[in-house]
Chain A
Amino acid sequence: MKRRTLIASAPATALVAATARAAAPTRVVLWHAMGGALGDKLQSIVDAFNKSQPDFAVDAVYKGSYPQVLTATIAAWRAGKAPSIAQVFDVGTADMLGAGRAVVDVYKLAEMTGVAIEPSTYIPAVRGYYSLNDGKMGAAPFNSSTALMWINEDAFEKAGLDPKAPLATWDDVIKAARAIKAKGAAEIPVMTSWPTWVHFEQFAAIHNVEYATLNDGFGGPNPKLRLDSHPFVRNLDTLLTMQKDGLFHYEGRDGKPSPIFYSGKAAITFDSSSIYGQLVKSAKFRFANAYLPYHQSIIKSPTNSIIGGAAFWAMTAPGRDKAEYEAVARFFKFISEPQNDAGWAEATGYVPVTLAGNDYIAKQGFYAKQPGGDLAVKQLTRTEPTKYSRGIRLGGMPEVRVIIEEEWESAIQSGTPAHKALARAQQRSQAVVDRFARALHG
């Protein structure tokens, strides 16, 4: 009897499946900030997802820079037309976690749709950055990188330095910079991209230094910044003194200074691990990467660095149905699969965000082909994240970054000592953080 029913119903089941396949897939929109080659690669991942199953389709739309995507997403949400998925940059994380019913946290998305997204799949430093204080995930990590020190080996040899000798501490860096300047081996001995990300946020992480109270903002709504505390002053003072001595050149904000290093004018720079591909393409000199240097007076053995980059957030909109959320969840799951994660990382220079993705890359022998290619992951995972090396969870972080850059720039121009510049930065930034807390909690 049972068997007969089964046989009888078989054609019917096949028919249902066939109609489902023929019906148009549930389409969801993704807004991102990946221009150029990165955008092409993202599109190919989206295409692969759309081909991998018949029920869901993602439409990826390039919306401009990170801030533009965030602003457009917020405006669209207020108009009831938010995209299903928005790519939001690292410093927008607190704003998104504070966005209440505008956003569906990834753990809720998993509960709602039954698509399991396991936090333990992700590299701890990546997971921590996008998690709530209790370890539940808010966003789906995607493009992540970390900061490294990059070395122009030709310039080092010209200065009579051994490019293979490690520059572990700032004292080592200063010594090398002196030699480079004395020999005129490079126009710029030391420079940096992303001044605040590298020399404040990454600095705090690897030195296990408190950036803000309440576990760098993870633990509560109104943290107090610690920008004027001793370690930050010590670090900025080092950089300002080096600038005065002509050893360090401040070359501008964000990623704008990067081309200077590509052109070979500088001997040492600090930049994202993701510039590797660009360097391979355009550098006419031999280069290498190294861990970020540390101050021995602050820490004996540095902790893990934190990530930068962006993650995908699931957005709500009136009338959005369960199938659409399921599409989002399935897409998040898809990009976290080892071969997809690895493919993205290998093509772009971002780090793999999952542990399995990292193993996959290592097994393929990719790291053996690209010396130093695994340094970023090693630096991210060299210790278990502490409460100060998990990430920074502060509202208004984009503005805080600009404030620090402004105060740093005016200190260079007017010769203000580091402690005064940081006292001002602290005061102005705290006002921003307070305003965020007030707006959020009334």
Chain B
Amino acid sequence: MERRTLFGGRLLPAVLVAPQLAITVLFFLLPAWRAFSESVQATDAFGLNTTFVGLANFRTLLGSPVYQAALLRTVIFCAAVTVLSMAGGLVLACFANRGIRGQSVYRVLLIWPYAIAPALASVIFVFLLQPQIGLLSNVLARLGIDFNYATNGTDAFGLIVLIAAWKQVSYNFIFYLAGLQSVPASVIEAATLDGARGFYRFRTMIWPLLAPTTFFLLVINTVYAAFDAFALIFALTGGGPGSSTTTLVVKVYRDGVINLDLGGSAAQSVILMALIMVLTTIQFRYTGKRAT
């Protein structure tokens, strides 16, 4: 009853919701629809000839060894980045959560990398590790280590994992720090009195209490690695050498924007959209359960 009097009629709610709906339609639904319609067509770059080809684009994709390799590569990349960045964030959070002097300075410094634009993060590493001019690569060369991400696929892949993880550590750090601070001090004290200490205390008390944070971060980091790492991969290697750093998003961009294969690129976008939907559903399902 009261709500009705607050939002009398249908007009006001509609007006209030409209901007958000407009944004959703304009920036999400329309592009998604375009991706869908393009994905079942074959068209030249200028859009002069468009033919309906049904699921042919998807068949070509799924049957292509190059695409399968990119899919597997993306899974490995996501797993590596997620594990590394979450572990890094957790360790740093545990240390920063202790009573040490200058705590706030450490915390601010640890958050910094998150504020760096992805492409710029790559540029920083170019200065460090570029085979000819990099500061670190000269040192490595003197030590007899031939690190060359421009020609060696393993080096390149390792490097983008490292950069992507490094950039995301800050984000995980913030969440883990918040998580650790919300662990009641009384619980820890009680456990300490009972003789639980060090890693044992962490494993049996803190880690389970951090589980919701961990799960949330797991999904966020996977999505980050799968999608947002595009800029830094593109700026550093462009997907090479070979195709050793071509993840799914890099391939979507290259096939669509550079190779002008709109149908194939749209089909890849649709597959990515489906994957994201699955991930989000899982996240909602589980976090929902924990809340109740």
- Residues of A participating in the B interface, judged by any CB pair closer than 8 Å: 67, 70-71, 74, 77-78, 95, 98-102, 250-253, 256, 259-260, 263, 265, 396, 398-399, 402, 405-407, 409-410, 412-413, 428, 432, 435-436, 438-442
Contacts and interface: CB of A to CB of B under 8 A. Distances in A.
B22 interface: no
Chain B interface residue bracket vs A: 20 to 34
3 closest pairs, A vs B, by CB?
Answer: A399-B259, A439-B44, A409-B242
Contact of A102 (B48, B51, B153): B48
B132 A100 contact: no
Nearest to B256: A71
Interface in B228-261: 238, 240-243, 254, 257-261
A412 B49 contact: no
Given A101-B48, A253-B240, A409-B241, A439 B42 contact: yes
B46 A74 contact: yes
Interface in B18-58: 42-49, 51
Majority secondary structure of chain B interface residues (helix, strand, loop or mixed): loop
Contact of B257 (A71, A98, A407, A409): A71
Given A251-B151, A252-B150, A252-B151, A74 B241 contact: no
Question: In the complex, which of the residues A71, A265, A432, A439 has the most CB atoms of chain B within 10 Å of its own CB atom?
Answer: A439
A163 B263 CA distance: 53
A412 B45 contact: no
Contacts of B151: 250-252, 409, 412
18 contacts: A74-B46, A95-B260, A98-B44, A100-B48, A253-B238, A263-B132, A265-B132, A396-B261, A402-B254, A402-B259, A407-B242, A409-B151, A412-B151, A413-B152, A413-B241, A439-B44, A439-B263, A442-B49
Contact of A409 (B45, B46, B48, B240): B240
B26 to A, nearest CB: 16
Contact of A100 (B42, B46, B150, B240): B46
Nearest to B241: A409
Contacts of B43: 439
B45 A74 contact: yes
B66 interface: yes
A71 B260 contact: yes
Contacts of B150: 251-252, 256
B153 A413 contact: yes
Interface string B142-158: 00000000111100000
Given A250-B151, A412-B151, A439-B49, A74 B260 contact: yes
Contact of A413 (B49, B66, B242): B242
B265 to A, nearest CB: 12
B240 A405 contact: yes
B132 A260 contact: yes
Contacts of B258: 67, 71, 398-399
A412 to B, nearest CB: 7
Contacts of A263: 132
A78 B240 contact: no
Contacts of A256: 150
B46 A396 contact: no
